[in-house]
Each structure stands twice: as C-alpha cells, then as structure tokens.
Structure 1
Amino acid sequence: MVEPSLWMKKVAANPGHSQWYIERFRSMARAGEDLAGEARLVDAMAPRGAHILDAGCGPGRLGGYLAAAGHRVVGVDVDPALIEAAEQDHPGPRWFVGDLAELDLPARGIAEPFDLVLSAGNVMTFLAPSTRVQVLTRLRAHLRDTGRAVIGFGAGRGYEFEQFFDDATQAGFASDLLLSTWDLRPFSEDSDFLVAILRPV
C-alpha cells in the first residue's frame, strides 16, 4: 500500500481544499494573469508535436497550454476533483486520475515514451516522503532515453534541494541545467526555488 500523498491528506482534512484551489486559478485566469510561464519554458525545449507528460497536472493550466501549442499531452493527478476541472477547462489532453508513485500509463493504453515530463506547482513537495524516489523512478521509466524532465518546487516546503538531487540520482537522472526561476535565472546555493532540468542516465 502506497502512503497517501500530503496533498490528499490535506484534502481529507479539508474537503473544500480542492475546489478552493481550482477557483483560485480560474479567478487568476479571468483576471488575465500569466499562468503559463512554466509551460512556455517546456514548449521552447520541445520538438513540435512532442509527447509530454504533465505529472501532477492539477486543474490543467499547463497541460492545456501545451496542448493548444500543438503537443500531445497526458496529464495525471492524484486528486479526482482537479482532473474533473482539467477536463472541463482544458479539453484536448488525456487526463487521468492516478498516484505518481504507481504510474503505469502503458496499462492505460499509452505505450509511447514521453519526450518531456513536466512537474510544476510544487508537486514534489506534496508527495509522501516515502514515495519520492519511487515517483522519480516512475517518471524516468516513462521518459524516452533522449528525453528530459523539468521539475520545479520551492524551498522551505519539507523537501531539501540536496535531498532531491540525491533522490533524482537514485532514480536514474542526471542534472542538465539548474535554474532558480521559470524565466531562466541561474540557480545558486541561496536560491529559494529550483527548476531542475534532468536527463535519463
């Protein structure tokens, strides 16, 4: 039995949390705020028509953008309410409810490996700590050998960057590029955010 994610523990403690999160981003979108910075970075890295996995896709803001840009997108999230919102707000990608620690998309009829894996929105910090290496290993398993994973999360959320680097190495990744923002500012020891671009080894 896989330990429940910290996100689902939060939802269990506050059943309205998912809807609050969904409405927060819908409100920001109505206000014209820029919600696609992470997706623009991934789009710039991707060949046209790339196969992209949005791991921890939430209500679909990034996968929706990438699909509109012409990519073949599959989004997975553990929270059924977020997947329902993604289906409503961003038709086009294939959205699935699933735990990243048990990710097996070939079992769902998606056998082709992915060119890119995106995990934004602090997804890594919402994982159950006991599943972190397992999640990264499953992401690696779904990535083609020439592909890359792009993972971003903030400091001070219970997952130290050095531990993440160790976990990523254990899962079969090496770092290609480390940034401190989605708009390409360099990473340093005192950065409070990490965007790691990883390659399979």
Structure 2
Amino acid sequence: MANPTRWATDTGPEHSQWYIDRFRKLAAEGEDLAGEARLVDALVAPGSRILDAGSGTGRVGAALAERGHTVVGVDADPALVDAARADYPGPTWLVADLAELDLPALGEAEPFDAAVLAGNVLAFVAVGTEPQVLRRVAAHLRPDGVLAVGFGTERGYPLTAFDADAVAAGLRVEHRFATWDLRPWRDDAAFAVTVLRRPAD
C-alpha cells in the first residue's frame, strides 16, 4: 500500500475488532443491514457481477450474494476481510488498496456490472486518494455499468470535489439521494448517496 488509509491512521489498533464485533452484534439482534444492497440490487439485472469496494465485514456483499449476484469484495484491512470470509463464505473476499486496485492481477479479470462504496468508504481512504479510488473502481466496470457511492457530507470530501473527480474518472452522475432508501436530496442533507454510470460510448 503506497499510502496508509485513514482507517489505519485515524483509529486505534483495537478499532477493527470493535467494528467486527459491532456488526456481528447488530446482525445477531436482527437489525436491517441490507439497505445499501437493496438499492444496488434495484439498479442491476438478476445475476449481475458486483464489486463491493471497501467491503468491510462483508454485510453489503453478502446481502447482494443472497439476492443471486456474483460478488467480489475488496478491503484494505485484512482483519475485516478475515471476518467477511468467516461470516459470509459465499462471495470472494480480497485484501487490496482501492487506490491501487488491479483485480485482474488477483485473478478477477471479468469486468463488473456494478460497484458499491458504502459505509463512508471514501472518508477512510488515504488522504488525497479519492480521485484515484474513483478511477480504479470505474476502470473495473463494464461500459454502462453503475456505481453507487454513499458518504457523510461533513466528512471532509466536498460533493463538488466528488462530482468533479467522478467526471474525471469517466463517470456520469445520474441520481443523488439523501439516504440509501431514496429520500429526496436536499442541500443540507448530512449524507449523500450518488448513483454514477460509466457511459457505454
């Protein structure tokens, strides 16, 4: 990894295990952890190939796999990937830095119909690598593929910069919502969910 992620630099050594335990507890309590997956599922055809970028403990990718999609999840934190492999053995879970993402080199050469960056992923990549992350994820989409991205609007990555970086990555902004359950966008929203597309031509 060329630059350590903010997930590594801005949290303590116990943070990953806390995060794993937190989501295992929420799942055991029956909490709804599939909201992002429901939106992505609605954007694609049945049986699509989906990249869960910044997959964490695997909850989004696992929910998409349960809906019949082929899922590859990628995260920079080996502890989170190990937890995903243990808890959700169906999808493929890989350790990789999104800013340097090269899935063909890891044996996943086929492009994806869709990708998702959920859970404030862009707030935890290495400082200044957000444009690279968008470029690398976009490069793994097939033409006309979609990318759904969600992050807090007060996390230090202005939406104006995000939109410009998305366009520079060859993506087109199609929709923006205030939540993963499609509540209308408003300028004072604390969270932004953006649907982007890699144009077919």
- TM bin, normalised by shorter chain, reads over 0.9
Q: Any stretches of 5+ residues in structure 1 without a counterpart?
A: none
Confirm whether residue 195 of structure 1 aligns to residue 193 of structure 2: yes
Trace 1:68-107 onto structure 2 (pairs within 5 A): 68-107=66-105
> Which residue of the other structure, out of 38, 56, 59, is the alignment partner of 2:57?
59
Trace 1:43-58 onto structure 2 (pairs within 5 A): 43-58=41-56
The residue number in structure 1 matching 2:6 is: 6
Confirm whether residue 135 of structure 1 aligns to residue 103 of structure 2: no
The residue number in structure 1 matching 2:112 is: 114
Give the ranges of 4+ consecutive aligned residues of structure 1 lying more than 3 Å apart after TM superposition. Answer: none
Identity, in percent, stands at: 56
TM-score by length of 1: 0.96
Shift of 1:4: 1.3
State the distance in 1 between where 2:4 and 2:170 align.
24
The residue number in structure 2 matching 1:159 is: 157
One-letter amino acid of the counterpart of residue 199, structure 1: R
1:154-184: per-residue Cα shift (whole Å, max 9, x none)? 1211111111111111111110111110111
RMSD of aligned alpha carbons: 1.1
Secondary structure at the aligned position of 1:129 is classed as coil
One-letter amino acid of the counterpart of residue 62, structure 2: G
Shift of 1:127: 1.3
Is the 2:149–2:194 contact (alpha carbons within 8 Å) kept by the matching residues of 1? Answer: yes
State the distance in 2 between where 1:93 and 1:27 align.
21
Secondary structure at the aligned position of 1:40 is classed as helix
Is the 1:3–1:130 contact (alpha carbons within 8 Å) kept by the matching residues of 2? Answer: no
1:67-109: per-residue Cα shift (whole Å, max 9, x none)? 1111000000000000000000001100000000110001111
